[in-house]
Amino acid sequence: MRNLFVRECGNYKTTYKNDMKLFGTTGDKVKWLILLLLLFTVPFYVSNYWVGLLTLCAISAIGAIGLNILTGFTGQISIGVGAFLGVGGYTTAILTTTYGLSFWISLPLAGIVTALVGGLFGIPSLRLKGLYLAIATLAAQVIITFVISRWDSVTGGTAGMVLSRPSLGNYSFVSNTSYYYLTLIILLLTVLYATNLLRTRVGRAFLAVRDRDIAAQIMGINLFYYKVLAFIISSFFVGIAGALLAHYTMIVSPELYNIHVSIQYLAMILIGGLGSIFGSILGAAFITLLPVGLNSIVDFLTVYMPDFYQLFSAFKEFVFGLAIILFLIFEPGGLAHIWQNIKNYFKLWPFSY
């Protein structure tokens, strides 16, 4: 067996098949096994509170990967993520609460319904680009939340709807830990799907559309088909994330899916790294945990300066904005790029050239 600690250094691949391998070296496989083991055993050594936060991170990561397929890979900006989350959440709420379907059926259905709605709002993308498309998707955000809050007989209007946690046989996913495992498994499946998507014709077509759509069309890529497909695939995952979130909070209401949520998801993929799956996860974790971290700093400072609680609270917003600006200036590649840089540094360490 080769030494585990010898890293891949240089490119020795001689076939395309070799180049496409997901786990090229034994080291890769061991690394992933350790990571999986760590993720699955996390609930044993952290508190219930952290398990809850990690669950929220995992749910956001699923949505962020979905958005990244659309924005990062295909280059189609969308400000309608919040509303698409809502479509997923409401679909599962209506199916499970009103029609009594099982969660295991309603979850994929929520994804499919959101995919259809997403595809519908993706149709203008053939003619619209950049800012214009952004405004078109903003319309999706407005229209969907308007429908949700007005269609009282189906959605319960502004009062929202109540859901229950999923159950499997007699086992109910009420505890934080069980729900964490559920979301973790779905996140891993999402990662697996998205990584493989990029290795297919469809994934490469997405990248071609992003880089220059006219050139892509000349190469024989059907622009309309692939752009709408990107909207459909992306919305599917956003819908799944919305459904998971709905069953986690056990409630859906129109105010949960406002424009602020859309912007947060865009911030996740910007900070994480456009066009990177690993970056989507890092970004989701960063945006979810940043307010928590800032809160604990505020709490810590308040112990010493009790009179400034209000001032520090106001500063949280300031720091949030500052973080995004600093990322855009100093590391447009996002957290994923920072991670890559660190890895490259240690690959050559201690004798870099």
Partner 1 sequence: MKHKKYLGALLGVIMLLLLVACGGGGNSSSSSSSTSDSTSTNASSDNAGKRTVVVGGLFDITGGTGDVGTPYAEGEKAYFEYLEMKGGVEGLNLKLVGKDYAYQIPEAQKIYQELRDKEKAVAILGWGTGDTEALRQQVAADQLPFISASYSENLKNMDESPYNFLVAASYSDQGRAILKWIKENHEGDGTPTLALLYNDTAFGRSPVEDIKAFAKEIGVEVVDEQVIDVQATEAQSQLLNMEKKNPDYAIINQTWAATATILRDAKTLGIDTQFIGLNWASGEGVIDIVGADVAEGYIGILSHAFPYEDMPGMAEIKEYLDAKGKTIDDIDQKFVQGWTAAKIMVEAIKNAAEKYPDGDLTGVQIREGLESIQNLDLGGLAANITFASDNHAGTEKTRLGIVKDGRWEPITDYFSHRD
* Of 210, 235, 209, residue with least CA distance to 222: 209
Give the one residue of 78, 91, 125, 149 binding partner 1; rule: CB under 8 A.
Answer: 149
**Backbone φ/ψ region at 327: left (φ over 0), alpha (ψ -120 to 50), beta:** alpha
The label of the residue with tokens 């779905």 reads: 186
Region near partner 1 per CB under 8 A, out of 103-111, 188-196, 247-255, 340-348:
247-255
Exposure of 101 by Cβ count < 10 A (0-12 exposed, 13-18 middle, 19+ buried)? middle
| CA 282/CA 52 separation, integer angstroms | 17
DSSP 232-298: HHHHHHHHHHHHHHHHHHTEE-GGGGSHHHHHHHHHHHHHH-TT-HHHHHHHHHHHHHHHHHHHHHH
- CB nearer to partner 1: give 76 or 264: 264
Region near partner 1 per CB under 8 A, out of 16-24, 231-239, 308-316, 339-347:
308-316
Q: In sequence order, what are the residues at sequence separation of 6 or more whose Cβ sits closer than 8 angstroms to the Cβ of residue 254?
A: 86, 145, 148, 149, 155, 158, 160
Size of the site for partner 1 (CB under 8 A): 47
**Taking the complex as a whole, how short is the minimal distance between the CB of residue 300 and partner 1, in angstroms?**
12
Give the one residue of 3, 11, 303, 353 binding partner 1; rule: CB under 8 A.
Answer: 303
| CA 291/CA 158 separation, integer angstroms | 27
Give the one residue of 18, 26, 41, 158 binding partner 1; rule: CB under 8 A.
Answer: 158
| CA 267/CA 244 separation, integer angstroms | 21
**Taking the complex as a whole, how short is the minimal distance between the CB of residue 235 and partner 1, in angstroms?**
20
118 belongs to the binding site for partner 1 (CB under 8 A): no
x/- mask, partner 1, residues 251-290, rule CB under 8 A, reads x-xxxx---xx--x-----------------------x--
Task: Pick out residues in 178-217 that bind partner 1 (CB under 8 A).
Answer: none
* Of 48, 51, 33, residue with least CA distance to 183: 51
| CA 236/CA 280 separation, integer angstroms | 16
- CB nearer to partner 1: give 109 or 289: 289
- CB nearer to partner 1: give 102 or 158: 158
x/- mask, partner 1, residues 283-302, rule CB under 8 A, reads -----x--xx--x---x--x
| CA 53/CA 245 separation, integer angstroms | 12
Give the one residue of 5, 45, 171, 330 binding partner 1; rule: CB under 8 A.
Answer: 330
**Taking the complex as a whole, how short is the minimal distance between the CB of residue 252 and partner 1, in angstroms?**
9
* Chain residues in the site for partner 1 (CB under 8 A): 47-49, 52-53, 56, 149, 157-160, 162-163, 165, 174, 176, 249-251, 253-256, 260-261, 264, 288, 291-292, 295, 299, 302-303, 306-311, 313-317, 322, 326, 330
